[in-house]
A and B are shown apart, each in its own frame.
Chain A
């Protein structure tokens, strides 16, 4: 296997890359407009296949925006301003960190992207440096390019007619680093991404938080086409996604081998409108479609019967591939002949269909329903995909899912989709600029982690965890500004949230604000640090929006000295005989019993002190 990785990192610039809008995530988007993008034709009459695919969907794009975060540049109503100097500086710094070779003149290009995520229909992007290497545990991984580009609009959702986008993220500076393909294990790829992320963060000039770093992968197996997987947002999903995609590719290879074994050298397909066959069908889905005026179109593929539902590995089927294409075309999916029974298509209907299609024995059938143009358009794509089944893995762009799988997005874009952005003059990178920035090249991240260990007396593991987390800056601030020990703060900010995400709580549910509130609440004695996991769990499960509410929810109230004394007295009274027999050794079981009563309402250390004092007093009284 071969995995190329591209890391996209948002920069923490004050303004966007081609205008002076601040970087703000807008909560409300009061304004909107609607557009359609058209594929542009290149020389030789060539139109990009990905562009045609998007256009054929016939959907418009609706852009919502707020003047606090966007202006006419994002709306494509004004030409781009000059390229942001701060972003250029940061990308030059990053290039130097990776020993990448700076170009002498930066040329901004337009990369055609017509899925709607750029109002202009292209992404502005420029090569900053070429070559270089990243050191990963002593091994060098080659760097191909360092580019500076604008981030895309944030997708809000879609329906049958439109896709909806927010403009706040459009135009934020991104540095993209492409690494040489790695021929190792998925874990090695993940490690390379991790090390690259640490190097980027060491500049102190990149954005932090979910969605500010994204990974794209180019994955291929021996002899197969390259599949581009976009948008892996979480690092710990990388290996999982790679394993899934490799399994899929090997599985598709097996299916291809089976097709060849049947003596098929070319997949022959026929497409027909078969709506009339399903007017009173047994399949509820089909009847509903036909009744609402939709068309049912069938694609038959000679000799493929049994191979659409064949599952060389769990969840890897040709039928699923076809359904994904239909879904990418905003249809519900497909019904194919290997699952007719399960989908409520009767034997008689299947026979009628076979007759109507005039297909030979052993044919597979795929049904797709939708309005006329969409159903036919999708059927044409399904024919293409069935034809590709012999070749194993088609070149596609796929999206990574949150579950660590990949799903079809569109055909892979052709190479001819870049031309100069004539609205932005080229930028000469002067030797003086390089020298000036040379002084800003950051200390290697390893040293920064060591500094954490020393300055805050953290264990090496915790120090690295803090460095890798979103909250390194917050940690430093709280370590200075509260009386808690740094290791307690680190545990609260990093260790407990990680433990909770392993329990299945969504990472994004426990934000920085909540964690900071928690640290202060503990610092000020409003809650005990033992209650931290419970409090965060309540917030993470959505039962409370902040720590204060979570404490109310858990009925946690700080215990006063007097009440703690009463509880200890009660426990001591109940265990009088044990104390008499065990003496000092009674402390541990008693402590356990008291903590059961007071956990989360008072610091464990205080309980220990109070109990010990009480026992000592008792001893004295007796003596």
Chain B
């Protein structure tokens, strides 16, 4: 059965009439002569008036089916079958064991130059074959636990990861690496920090800003750094491991509660906010930059608290924000709202009655700042004081994204709204710092 990946409508019909599909070698007649090539896939939303051929030179060209003078199938395409990769180096028995949990995106991949498709490497053998240096670092145990674009991650995914980490700890693993898309990596890191409080080993989230099929990908350095730290670091806890600069050299380890994606595309998009990175890793070694990190412990008893309350909103205040927005959230069953207020923690004072009513009815309302840097202080202006009296909890210098994950976790792991409010005020995992240093 021919494969028509991405073709639809007229171009699909055209190919079917000629009994040719993706991967087939064909000859097409054009106004200027005959061209041979391989039919390659089209993108789903492309028009249906063209077919795409890969020429023997390797180039793809699009040809209008309206101008083609027929198409003949010369030979059927070989299915892109993966031959076994070159024999991987096998790791030494005395190396630490590190689990690599895949949640989406690709850690490493191979390109099918015939059609242009990118195939992820899944098994440890494939990973060792593509990144041979991993075999000198650790005995890795890769596993895809789910495959979701990071923008589609939901609290239930966090729960699944937390449970899987806890099982791996029970199985005596030395460290865990979680690969994840970059978009919501900061949220997941914060969520896991709360769900995995007291985890005795390092849990390192890592990702790539350049996909792993590219020679310039940052995935390899990030992954090797993450696996090294997971296997050998003296500390435990949840961290994000990503490039420290635009250079391939150092990988920064950011506290899961203090990290934010601050750039859409650069390799060093992730930055620690208000604190320095916890540590910097390079092939030369690991430098610790924060004091008081929890120490790695052996065979400690550990259980995660993986539940989250999904009905929490993160609301960025903006001029002209409709007063009905908060009300609609409350009516929709929202149990908590983290407001990203202006400056020191403000919203238009017209909203205050709605906030008061929401809090009085047992809702959790917290205030972070949209300034990103600095600390909310709601005692400086009248509006701040009014909001406090309406029941808003000021979150000090907690990042808004962290606050959302924390509120979700707190609401699922407290017995009363009072307890939830007091948990929000406390720094459980370094999410609030006492001193503002920049």
Contacts and interface: CB of A to CB of B under 8 A. Distances in A.
A107 B85 CA distance: 30
A299 interface: no
A106 interface: yes
B247 A35 contact: yes
A91 to B, nearest CB: 14
Contact of A75 (B31, B80, B246): B246
A107 B61 contact: yes
Interface stretch (B211-219, B228-236, B305-313, B391-399): B211-219
Contacts of A38: 215, 217, 220
A559 to B, nearest CB: 61
Contact of B61 (A39, A76, A105, A415): A105
Nearest to A416: B113
A77 B265 CA distance: 6
Interface stretch (A116-124, A308-316, A549-557): A116-124
Nearest to A125: B59
B362 interface: no
Nearest to A144: B57
A299 to B, nearest CB: 24
Interface string A32-71: 0111111111111100000100000000100000000000
B210 interface: yes
A34 B282 CA distance: 14
Interface residues of A, number: 52
Contacts of B55: 127
23 contacts: A35-B216, A36-B221, A37-B216, A40-B111, A40-B215, A43-B81, A43-B112, A45-B83, A77-B265, A104-B61, A104-B62, A105-B50, A105-B52, A105-B61, A106-B61, A112-B215, A120-B214, A127-B59, A145-B57, A416-B58, A417-B58, A426-B52, A428-B62
Contacts of B171: none
A191 B63 CA distance: 34
B292 interface: no
Contact of B62 (A105, A119, A130): A105
Contact of A103 (B33, B63, B83): B63
Contact of A41 (B58, B80, B85): B85
Contacts of A420: 40, 60, 116
A43 B111 contact: yes
B35 A121 contact: no
B147 interface: no
Interface of B: 30-33, 35, 40, 46-47, 50, 52, 55, 57-64, 67, 80-86, 110-114, 116, 119, 129-130, 209-210, 213-217, 220-221, 245-249, 264-267
A79 B211 CA distance: 11
A225 interface: no
Contacts of A381: none
Contacts of B50: 104-105, 428
Contacts of B85: 41, 45
Contact of B59 (A39, A41, A44, A126): A126
B213 A40 contact: yes
A43 B113 contact: yes
Contacts, number: 148
A416 B54 CA distance: 12
Nearest to A414: B113
Contact of A37 (B57, B59, B215): B215
Contact of A78 (B32, B57, B82, B266): B266
A44 B79 CA distance: 11
A153 B130 CA distance: 27
Contacts of A103: 61-63
Nearest to B219: A38
A105 B113 contact: no
A156 to B, nearest CB: 17
Contacts of A130: 32, 35, 61
A35 B112 contact: no
Contacts of B130: 41
Contacts of A509: none
Given A34-B247, A41-B85, A101 B215 contact: no
Nearest to B249: A34
Given A45-B86, A120-B210, 20 more contacts: A34-B248, A34-B249, A41-B110, A43-B81, A45-B85, A45-B129, A51-B215, A77-B209, A77-B267, A78-B264, A104-B63, A106-B61, A107-B60, A110-B214, A112-B215, A119-B216, A127-B60, A416-B113, A418-B59, A419-B113
Contacts of A43: 80-83, 110-114, 119
A128 to B, nearest CB: 9
**Residue among B52, B58, B213 with the highest chain A CB neighbour number at 10 A:** B58
A40 B106 CA distance: 14
Contact of A131 (B33, B59, B249, B266): B33
Nearest to B87: A45
Contact of B248 (A36, A51, A75, A104): A36
Nearest to B108: A41
Nearest to A51: B215
B63 A417 contact: no
Contacts of A378: none
Given A34-B248, A43-B111, A426 B62 contact: yes
A42 B110 contact: yes
**Residue among B31, B209, B248 with the highest chain A CB neighbour number at 10 A:** B248
